[in-house]
Chains A and B, each alone.
Chain A
Amino acid sequence: MDKLIVSPSPHIHARTSTSVIMRDVIIALAPAILVSVLFYGWSELLVLGVSVASCVFVEWAITKWLLRRPSTIGDLSAVVTGLLLAMNLPATTPWWVVFIGALVAIGVAKMTFGGLGQNVFNPAITGRVFLLISFPTYMTDWTMPSGFVRSVDAVSGSTPLSALKEALMSGSTISDFVAGYDGGWRALLTDIGGSAGEISAIALLVGFGYLLLRKVVKIWIPLSIFATIALISLIFNSVDPEAYTGVLFNLKTGGVILGACFMATDYVTSPMSRTGGIIYGIGIGFIVMMIRYFGSYPEGMSFAILIMNCVVPLLNKWFHQKKYGRN
């Protein structure tokens, strides 16, 4: 009788758990991280290391000394937050700024709400936005890519988005701006300074493809974000190509791909149903384009995701999945 194990169903377990999913996300982020380290060198490694270490440390310290609960760092979600936070920062960010970002991401945005699963706002984006409004000088010091694979030491400059914003604010037209930009359109679309994670669209999309294959995320949220951005920029660009940038530029620059594929799809802070997810994506795309076209910030991906995060509980209430067997 010792061999008989009595347990309630379910008896067959799919072996998915938070840590397995988080491990998949880390694997998916790997190509983009690798590319960013290749391009930005040691400083990017330092930002990544400090960010991950401090996120894990803050979560461990809060569970141990403040909440007095069993530690939750084993679920790897703090590691993912740390990686995403680092990818949302310029590679030149000083270590103590990264630490404050981690403190806000884990301490304020995640653990204050009760830990993983209860946070309303995406922790990594909250950390980034907090740093953006607190340390604008560090956060917009975009050093142009120069790491292990380039010969130049470092070129500091503005991102295509912020350079364009400045040009438009001072009254010039887009064609003037492109003509004055060294290398023209091609350079605008390929030679991108910015947050570490924004460097390679291909690496991000490869990682996202892996997540889709592993069925960790569903495609409708990123797809509706891309579609909305494309549609809005298509309309505005065809009305006045001198004042509004085009589809490809808006999809390719800034944090759109990183944000849509890895930040907006966060399980906890995105809607559960398909309809909810599509509305959420449309909202993000719309807010990003409004900030880019009419706002004073050059880029609005992180603000857009945070704003739509507030709406998620409502979307979950309106568009909950039908329970099996009920109409």
Chain B
Amino acid sequence: MSKLSLITKGFVKDNPTFSLVLGMCPTLATTTSAMNGLEMGLATMFVLILSNIVISLVAPVVPDKVRIPVYIVIIATFVTVLQLLMQAYVPAVYETLGLFIPLIVVNCIVLGRAEAFANKNSVVDSALDGLGIGIGFTMSLTVIGIVREILGSGSVFGWKFIAGDGILAFVMAPGAFLVLGYLMVLFNKFLAKK
């Protein structure tokens, strides 16, 4: 597999949201606006790349029976690093995403890539895989965020184009499920290979 396709496979073929259907909790909860979706995607990508690198390094020496706890500890370490970094440098973003930053620890995408890819591939490949999947996740979350923000608040990335409120349901949980479902339909119809 070429280095480039390691990255690009995360966009469509192994898209974590629309193709693998992983990490649904942050996908549904944090995509109330385009900006929130983008930030959540980038935060997850940060953890994904670093944990993939470290896990691919330690995988040969970790006994099989305890690998999951070890991976979780590694992932949790990077989540803590991320949490402290965000709290220090982007406190506003840290406030908006709130609980969902520590919850990256239990995001299935991160553990999924550790199990499915990082523990049996080289460091460089694992880093690229983390980058590709991370970009795929960020793109999906941003698209969901854009759609929900347009319909729910009448704005894009905070730029308001209608006065007043939009269709409030799209900012709430039902809207998240509806938008995710219909985008998945479009994704499977036009992008996914049969």
Which A residues lie at the B interface, using CB under 8 A?
100, 108, 130, 133-136
Contacts and interface: CB of A to CB of B under 8 A. Distances in A.
Interface in B144-194: 167-170, 172, 174, 178
A100 B168 contact: no
15 contacts: A100-B167, A108-B178, A130-B169, A130-B174, A133-B168, A133-B169, A133-B172, A133-B174, A134-B167, A134-B168, A134-B169, A134-B170, A135-B167, A135-B168, A136-B168
Contacts of B169: 130, 133-134
A133 B168 CA distance: 7
Contacts, number: 15
Contacts of A135: 167-168
User: Which applies to chain B's interface (DSSP): helix, strand, loop or mixed?
Assistant: helix
Counting chain B CB atoms within 10 Å of each CB, which of A100, A108, A130 scores highest? Answer: A130
Given A134-B167, A134-B169, 13 more contacts: A100-B167, A108-B178, A130-B169, A130-B174, A133-B168, A133-B169, A133-B172, A133-B174, A134-B168, A134-B170, A135-B167, A135-B168, A136-B168
A206 B131 CA distance: 66
A136 B178 CA distance: 19
A235 B96 CA distance: 45
A39 to B, nearest CB: 29
B175 to A, nearest CB: 8
A139 B174 CA distance: 18
Nearest to A130: B169
Interface string B119-163: 000000000000000000000000000000000000000000000
A130 B171 CA distance: 12
Which A-B residue pairs are the 7 nearest by beta carbons?
A134-B169, A134-B167, A134-B168, A133-B169, A130-B169, A133-B168, A133-B172
Nearest to B171: A134
A108 B182 CA distance: 10
